[in-house]
Chain A
Amino acid sequence: MEQHRSHIYGVMAEFDTPEQLIHAVEKTRAAGYRRMDAYTPFPVEGLAHAMGLKRNMVPFITLLGGLFGGLGGFGFQWWANVVSYPENIGGRPLNSWPAFIPVTFELTILGASLCAVFGMLALNRLPQPHHPVFNLKRFVHATSDRFYVCIEARDPKFHIVETARFLQGLHPHHVSEVTDD
């Protein structure tokens, strides 16, 4: 049994419309499956909710990046002009705080944006050139006009025949096995 599972990644069902997919995902979760994923060509409203996804960490990481950029930016300018290289320029105070605001602002935005994008990629484990779902020939439609749900083999309830039959019962376009390599 263990031997058999090692090269099955999961069972994938293909649907024509986002509504069918949401319905299928709800049914799948109701049947007790948890290790699963859905694949869509665009973000489908309500799908994340159906999958039971809660908040993600991206906003928090972004906030940290913004705080780091802003405080670091102001702190650095203050340090450079007041501590490291104090110089009287045009009679302005060493701590010319109004003049430090623009750079502080820019660095806040820069820090937050970099953290938003790279935080998102890191949490998504991207770049990831290979993934078992790509083994499925039909999966090219996942970036065009088809909607997929995949129940993964590591789900405790997974059984290759039962799960496939269960998915068949949701009236998909197609059900296929996804192999690991």
Chain B
Amino acid sequence: MAVQEYPAPESISRLQTRAFGVGAIALLLAIYGAVHSPQTFFASYLMSFLLFLGLALGSLGLVMLQHLTSGHWGIIIRRPLESATRTLPLLAVAFLPIAIFGMRYLYAGHGDDKGWLNAPASGEGALSAFQKNYLTHNGYLIRAVIYFAVWLALMFIFNVLSKQQDINRTDRALRQRFKILAGPGIILYVFAMSFAAIDWVMSISPHWASTIYGFIFVGAQLISSLSLMIAVVVLLARSEPFSGILQPRHLHDLGKLLLAFVMLWAYFDFSQLLIVWSGNQPEEISFYRTRLYGEWGVVAVIVVVFHFFVPFFLLLSQDLKRRAQILSKIAVWLIVMRLVDLFWMTRPEFTSSAVPSWLDLVLPIALGGLWLGFFAFNLKQCPLLPLGDPKLEEAIEQHHE
């Protein structure tokens, strides 16, 4: 199959080379860090891994949402979304260091607080009866395999169908199959992600549990991947063929959706805070005791102001949403803030100091470089627009405004 329409511009190849280059250098530095201080390395690695997993999985969620709602916003970004989902194999590989070397640094607690890997069998700090069977070394690994299997299967299905649609452009049955699969697909994604969030992050402190945790992760993943998509379409629109396609109304729609996701995420996070804070139960409030005071309190304020208030007020404006340069800057900013938020979510479990280590800079660059390079590579594999989508013409039609 050689579909020559709407090829990725040269800039994407340049992005790929540079990203791989920067990523490779940063990775070498990071490996040095891993040998030198593995504890810090894995805390930082988990954070970076979650950010890029979020970009891929959020994109998977958005692809399926797009198929369910078939809005014009989604048709424009469908190919970049699909390219982002195709980075999932890389992320599965990137999970291996955690599975092989990292578990004992992440889930064995620090100091007097024991993690679930080395919790005492009874007495203070013992796991619940259910956790004793659930949070086990093998259980953790088996479940991780299941999560990745689910996500990879979904990725595979939606990408293969999409390719078929490029070839059989008039095949309306494909459109229907997308729609039928997207519903159950979203359910699988959300459930697997909720369990993964419990396994990989929440279980770091096994005595703390929150039922909204999965939603917080899903909401955050949607923010980060939509932000990436906005940045990518603005980048693509700098050159042919996308420059003639992207219109202010598309950015406006994407901006509105981003605003909605930011609000949704803030709503989930605030709900958790308000309920835990009001209940003030000893086993629950510990989460906020460590995160809202002292150095971590400063990080919390940064997250609230720069992850919510600033983007929120900027995105309220109709003008700013329609201006490519500004909207893409907000989007990139939100991805950076996602990293800060993940830092605030995960790191207080390992250290009381909110000062980031050099690895917190190097590891996101290392994983990010490799991820972005792979993403750029994926982007070149298909036409930049889903040519078989029955609504494509409508979606890219020029409106005079």
Closest to B316 in A: A63
Give chain B interface residues in 219-278, CB to chain A under 8 Å: 270, 273-274, 277-278
Kindly identify, within residues 98 to 114 of chain A, every residue whose CB is under 8 Å from any CB belonging to chain B: 98-99, 101-102
A68 to chain B, nearest CB (A): 16
Q: How far is the CA of A102 from the CA of B278 in the complex (A)?
A: 13
| A99 and B275 alpha carbons, distance in the complex (Å) | 10
Main secondary structure of the interface of A (DSSP, over half): helix
Q: Encode contact with B along A142-169: 1 for CB under 8 Å, 0 otherwise.
A: 0000000000000000000000000000
Q: How large is the interface on B (under 10, 10 to 19, 20 to 34, 35 or more residues)?
A: under 10
Identity of the chain B residue whose Cβ is nearest the Cβ of A59 in the assembled complex? B318
Q: Give the residues in chain A near B270, CB-CB below 8 Å.
A: 98, 101
Chain A residues touching B, range:
under 10
B287 nearest CB across to chain A (Å): 14
Q: How far is the CA of A120 from the CA of B92 in the complex (A)?
A: 55
Q: Which of A80-119 contact B (CB under 8 A)?
A: 98-99, 101-102
Residue of B nearest to A102 (CB): B274
Chain B contact surface mostly: helix
In the assembly, what is the distance between CA of A101 and CA of B269, in Å?
13
Nearest B residue (CB) for A91: B280
> Within 8 Å CB of B277, what residues of A?
98
On chain A, the residues within 8 Å of B278 by CB distance are: 98-99
Closest to B292 in A: A98
A98: chain B residues at CB < 8 Å are 270, 273-274, 277-278
Chain B positions within 8 Å of A99 at CB level = 274, 278
The proximity string for A residues 20-45 relative to B, scoring 1 for CB distances below 8 Å and 0 otherwise, is 00000000000000000000000000
* Alpha-carbon separation in the docked complex, A102 to B270 (Å): 10
Q: Which residue of A lies closest to B276 (CB)?
A: A98
Q: Closest residue to B277 on the A side, CB-wise?
A: A98
Roughly how many angstroms separate A101 CA and B270 CA in the complex, as a whole number?
A: 9
> A181 to nearest B CB, angstroms?
42
Smallest beta-carbon distance B285→chain A, Å: 12
- A98 CA to B273 CA in the complex, in Å? 8
Kindly report which residue of chain B lies nearest to residue A66, judged by CB atoms.
B316
Residue of A nearest to B270 (CB): A101
Q: Specify which chain A residues have a CB less than 8 angstroms from the CB of B274 in the assembled complex.
A: 98-99, 101-102
CA A99 – CA B277 in complex, angstroms?
A: 9
How many whole Å from B400's CB to the nearest CB in chain A? 10
CA distance A98 to B277 in the complex (A): 8
Shortest Cβ gap from A99 to chain B (Å)? 7
Specify which of A98, A101, A102 lies most central, judged by the most chain B CB atoms within 10 Å of its CB: A98
Instruction: State the CA gap A101–B274 with chains docked (Å).
Output: 9
Nearest CB in chain A: distance from B174 CB, A = 33
| Nearest neighbor of B273 in chain A, beta-carbon distance | A98
Q: Give the shortest distance, in Å, between A89 (CB) and chain B (any CB).
A: 12
Interface residues in B286-304 by Cβ distance below 8 A to A read: none
How many Å lie between the Cα of A101 and that of B275 in the bound state?
Answer: 12
Taking the closest CB of chain B, its distance from the CB of A164, in whole angstroms, is 33
Contact string, A105-141, partner B, CB cutoff 8 A, digits 1/0?
Answer: 0000000000000000000000000000000000000
Shortest Cβ distance from B312 into chain A, in angstroms? Answer: 12
A99 to B278, CA, bound (A): 8
List chain B residues, Cβ under 8 A from A101: 270, 274
Expressed in whole angstroms, the minimum distance between the Cβ of A91 and any Cβ of chain B is 8
Q: Which 7 A-B pairs have the closest CB atoms?
A: A98-B277, A98-B274, A98-B273, A101-B270, A99-B278, A101-B274, A99-B274
6 A-B pairs besides A98-B270, A98-B274, A99-B274 with CB distance below 8 A are A98-B273, A98-B277, A99-B278, A101-B270, A101-B274, A102-B274
Would you give 10 A-B contacts (Cβ < 8 Å), ordered by A?
A98-B270, A98-B273, A98-B274, A98-B277, A98-B278, A99-B274, A99-B278, A101-B270, A101-B274, A102-B274
